[in-house]
Structure 1
């Protein structure tokens, strides 16, 4: 798993990747597909840090990757 930390949080671009910043995707879906999956319960719910910042727990993303 692309050197994920043991604990902590990930921003959306760290999960779905960002070609401009050279960040490879952990889960190769587009931003709207990610948010639709969160809404439908396929992907874990995020943690709101502020009105414009949502993060996801590393352990939940690791579990999602292993289940795929």
Structure 2
């Protein structure tokens, strides 16, 4: 299963967070297996969700446009 995560911070922080999640994936998978009644528990693959970054960038552009028009 793909697990998308948002991480605030530098690119280095994001990379370290993904590394940490990847190293804990087996443990997290075991925890999911304990909690959910699934026949097989999927492997967990973590990736960055940059949606929040994009939303913040759009918000900044709109603010700049509003300030320029005012």
TM-score if structure 1 supplies the norm length?
Answer: 0.22
Which of structures 1 and 2 has the bigger CA Rg?
2
Q: Comparing both chains, which one has the higher relative contact order based on Cα–Cα distances under 8 Å and sequence gaps of 6 or more?
A: 2
Which structure features the higher share of strand residues? 1
- Higher share in helix: 2
